[in-house]
Amino acid sequence: MFSGAQVSVYPMSDDFVDIILGAIKALEPWRDRLRLETDHLSTLMVGPPEVLFPAMRDLFLAATRSGVHTTMHATVSRGCPGEPDDPICTPATAVAPGLPLAQRILACRDAVMTAPRTGQTIAAQLSLYPLGFGHHMDEIYGCIEFLKGSGTFDRSKNFCTALRGDAGPVFETLNQAFTGFGSGAGHIALDVTLSANSPSAA
Amino acid sequence: MFSGAQVSVYPMSDDFVDIILGAIKALEPWRDRLRLETDHLSTLMVGPPEVLFPAMRDLFLAATRSGVHTTMHATVSRGCPGEPDDPICTPATAVAPGLPLAQRILACRDAVMTAPRTGQTIAAQLSLYPLGFGHHMDEIYGCIEFLKGSGTFDRSKNFCTALRGDAGPVFETLNQAFTGFGSGAGHIALDVTLSANSPSAA
């Protein structure tokens, strides 16, 4: 198994360099459980989902504390047949353990309900891509059903679903969408955009 | 067929609002061939690929003329079974006409070679997701082979491929990747991040 993300943080400020460099320090507590590589487009974070999503949450929260309108984009992937297995990616808990869809939806919701809160409200929109099999829309529709009852659902959009809420439950919703749908060992990609401190947010 | 994109522009500047509002005016010449809806996270652009990609190019170029470091993200999709057919999306030319992969790679490269140049160098990274069938990696590997010979290839990364070059050929490369791979009427998603005027670009 290989899992990870290409992550970019965009502070809409003349001080974007300092805000980004400051925010990356929030990854320090996670460094022994992640492999990180940064270039001018994104930071590669390689590790299991239960580390990736809290680490991305801490990175984004650190950037939002500047108070400026900040967005983050992540391309998250697991099980890509073109990537080598990497021991750092082994999840502590089973991913998508083969339960029926209805049971997975309930388990994912339970996990979001108990997520620690952070005090920072954020918005997000995500697209989930279960790859390599013919009934991918069943898993996508199941994921959307989970999202609608997650407590972080904002609204449906073309090509994606918008979330809104405290950053803790929102990132746990992303984690559950990524690990709870598609096949357990299959190839899944998640495309997510996050936003905070927007002057035009409702 | 339904095709379109959720597009966001991120100028890393205190003047981000004015830069974004100014850049959106670059879509005026395309408005009769696109349906547009904007919210605080992204602008939905609905239309055929041969309109979407030049329109996104013009939007991004207008934002980069500010000189500030600007990025753009787009989630592009066609053939999603959950979206209704829309006459505005009918492409003028056939999409992925069922030719063997080797012939499609050559045809895609030819299209990039003749793309008009703009004078603006940009960087990009893209991930292509052919959905709903079992041999998706064949199409992804074919697309990567096209990208490597496209003239805009920068390097391979985990989960994505990085491009670099004039905005004209780079956006035509994205158009060809999106329309030349996967099945012609199938469900395809493209996740792309673009960047210009970066202080840390090589």
ipTM above 0.90, yes or no: yes
Q: What is the pLDDT of residue B162?
A: 98
- pLDDT, residue B20, reads 96
Q: Residue B160: what pLDDT?
A: 96
Q: What is the pLDDT of residues A140-182, one digit of tens each?
A: 999 999 999 999 999 999 999 999 999 999 999 999 999 999 8
- Single-letter residue type at B92: A
Q: Calculate how close chain B gets to A70, using CA atoms only, in Å.
A: 9
Is A68 labelled as part of a ligand binding site? no
The nearest alpha carbon in chain B to A144 belongs to: B82
Domains of chain B (ranges; CATH) run 3-196 (3.30.70.930)
B38-78: per-residue pLDDT in tens?
Answer: 999 999 999 999 999 999 999 999 999 999 999 999 999 99
Distance (Å) of CA B176 to CA B33, B49, B161:
20, 9, 14
What is the reported pLDDT for B134? 81
Read off the pLDDT band of B96 (50, 70, 90).
Answer: low
Looking at the DSSP bridge assignments, the partners of residue A123 are A164, A195
The span from the CA of A189 to the CA of B143, in Å, is: 17
The answer to whether B9 is annotated as binding is yes
pLDDT tens by residue, A68-106: 999 999 999 998 887 777 788 877 765 556 789 999 999
Q: Are B175 and B128 in contact (CB under 8 A)?
A: no
Give yes or no for A200 touching B (CB within 8 A): yes
Per-residue model confidence (pLDDT) at position B81: 81
H runs (alpha helix) in B70-130 = 101-113
User: Cβ A132–B134 below 8 Å, yes or no?
Assistant: yes
Q: Is the pLDDT of residue B202 over 70?
A: no
CA B91 to each of CA A124, B51, B94: distance values in angstroms, whole numbers, following the listed order:
31, 9, 7
DSSP state of A6: E
Give pLDDT tens digits for A4-17: 999 999 999 999 99
Alpha-carbon dihedral angle through residues B57, B201, B120, B71, given to the nearest 10 degrees? 30
Mean pLDDT, chain B, as a whole number? 93
Cβ count within 10 A of residue A117: 10
Q: What is the pLDDT of residue B85?
A: 76
Going by C-alpha positions, the residue among B177, B158, B13, B41 that lies closest to residue A192 is B41
Give pLDDT, residue A97.
60
Residues in chain A: 202
Does the pLDDT at position B158 exceed 60? yes
Give yes or no for a contact between B166 and B112, defined as CB atoms under 8 angstroms apart.
no
- Measured between beta carbons, the chain A residues lying within 8 angstroms of B1 are none
- Asked if residue B94 has pLDDT above 70, the reply is no
Q: What pairs with residue B17 in β-bridges?
A: none
Please name the helix (run of DSSP H) or strand (run of DSSP E) that holds residue B131, with its range, or none.
strand B121-131
The alpha carbon torsion through A117, A122, A125, A126 (nearest 10 deg) reads -30
- The pLDDT, as a whole number, for residue A52 is 97
Q: What letters, b where the CB count within 10 A reaches 16 and e where it falls short, cover A52-65?
A: bbbbbbbbbbbbbe
Angle between helices A49-64 and A16-24 (to 10 degrees): 140
Cβ of B129 under 8 Å from any chain A Cβ?
Answer: yes
In Å, how far is B182's CA from the nearest CA of chain A?
A: 12
Closest Cα partner for A18 from A65, A72, A55, A52? A65
Among A38, A75, A80, pick the best mutation site for testing chain B contact (most B Cβ within 10 A). A75
Asked if A136 reaches chain B (Cβ–Cβ under 8 Å), the answer is yes
- For residue B95, is pLDDT > 70? no
pLDDT digits (tens, 9 = 90+) for A38-77: 999 999 999 999 999 999 999 999 999 999 999 999 999 9
> What is the 3 state secondary structure string of B31-78?
HHHCEEEECCCCEEEECCHHHHHHHHHHHHHHHHCCCCCEEEEEEEEE
Residue type (1 letter), A174: L
Q: Which residue of B has its CA nearest to A163?
A: B41
End-to-end alpha-carbon separation of chain A, Å? 40
Token pair belonging to B111: 């299209």
Going through A132-186 in order, the beta strands assigned E by DSSP cover: 153-157, 160-166
For A202, the closest chain B residue by CA position comes to: B40
